[in-house]
Amino acid sequence: MKIVFSAVSKHYGPIIALKEINFEITEGEFVFLVGPSGAGKSTILKLILNQIRPSTGEITVGEFNINHKTRPRAEKIRKNIGVIFQDYQLIPDKTVEENISLALDIINYPSKERPVRIEEVLTQVGLLQRRHLFPAQLSGGELQRSALARALSIKPKLILADEPTGNLDPENSWNLIRLLKDINNNGTTILMTTHNYDIINSLDKRIITIENGGIIKDDHPAKGEAVPDNVTSKVTKKKKKKVKK
């Protein structure tokens, strides 16, 4: 799914959250959105999700156009987007399976095919054995994988990941990144906000840096580093060395 921001500004009263930003994300790209807290990252995600309306400019999300005057019904856009949040946003009194089933129900996924689809995504994220557990019974990594499974279940054209590794330990963070990378390899566009430069620097992906509501940098890192196969980052390795000493 293609995303285009054309001279988009967003004001909250006197506060300027975004100042005439322009960027385009093509179909199948994996893009990191980085910047300090309050830079405007979440505002961009909210605009894409049609939670808020731009003050000026125009946003194109797939076939939908959003501007300060008109916007399509939010659900039309959201049904094509898988969202992963830092705090998982799973419904506490539903099991992992029921949380995924809810997402499928919302997009009117054929009910007969739902069990198969749920099994597929739970296998993909390695949570098939945990399908009947409630969020309170899962670890942080499992919760985030559940959220990913829910996002994947609807076969989204775009995945928005809002600091998905924020509450995860390095090992689980790398597991999640590997999954996202695999998904991206299958053609799904991914836009991920993060503060984890360890991860950003390890992937050869586009990085949009945002500060004070404006884009200050939009480029690929000079040299990428592949996600380590043993699922441990440099940080994790250092920690392990310290433990040995």
Pick 51 or 137: Cβ nearer other proteins = 51
- How many residues bind other proteins, per CB under 8 A? 25
Helix axes 170-185, 234-244, angle to 10 degrees: 150
- Long-range own/partner contacts, residues 101-107 (CB < 8 A, 24 or more apart): 102/150, 103/150, 103/151, 103/153, 103/154, 104/153, 104/154, 106/75, 106/79, 106/154, 107/79, 107/154
Q: Which residues contact 51 (CB under 8 A, 6 or more apart)?
A: 74
Q: Which stretch binds other proteins (CB under 8 A): 102-110, 130-138, 164-172, 184-192?
A: 102-110
Q: Which residues contact 59 (CB under 8 A, 6 or more apart)?
A: 3, 4, 5, 6, 8, 47, 48, 65, 66, 67
Separation CA 136–CA 49 (nearest Å): 27
Q: How far is the CB of 79 from other proteins (least distance, A)?
A: 4
Q: Which is nearer to other proteins, 7 or 106 (CB)?
A: 106
Q: Whole-number minimum distance, CB 153 to other proteins, in Å?
A: 10
Half-sphere exposure of 71 (CA within 13 A, CB side): 23
Nearest-angstrom CA–CA distance, 176 and 168: 9
- 78 near other proteins, judged by CB under 8 A: yes
Structure tokens at 171: 């090992």
Work out whether 10 is an interface residue with other proteins (CB under 8 A).
Answer: no
Among 20, 58, 98, 225, the residue binding other proteins under the rule CB under 8 A is 98
Q: Does 53 bind other proteins (CB under 8 A)?
A: no
Q: How far is CA 204 from CA 150, 221, 230, in A?
A: 26, 6, 18
**Phi and psi, residue 16, nearest 5°:** -100, 115
| Contacts (CB under 8 A) with other proteins, residues 103-142 | 103, 105-107
Binding of other proteins by 52 (CB under 8 A): no
Among 73, 223, 242, 245, binds other proteins (CB under 8 A): 73
Contact pattern for other proteins over residues 158 through 197, marking x by CB under 8 A:
----------------------------------------
Nearest approach, Cβ of residue 85 and other proteins (Å): 8
* Cα gap 100→153, rounded to integer Å: 7
Q: Which is nearer to other proteins, 83 or 127 (CB)?
A: 83
Least Å distance, CB 239 to other proteins, is: 34
* 236 sits near other proteins (criterion: CB under 8 A): no
* Rounded least distance, CB 144 to other proteins, Å: 15
Q: Where do contacts with other proteins occur on this chain (CB under 8 A)?
A: 49, 51, 73-75, 77-81, 83, 89-91, 93-94, 98, 101-103, 105-107, 150, 154
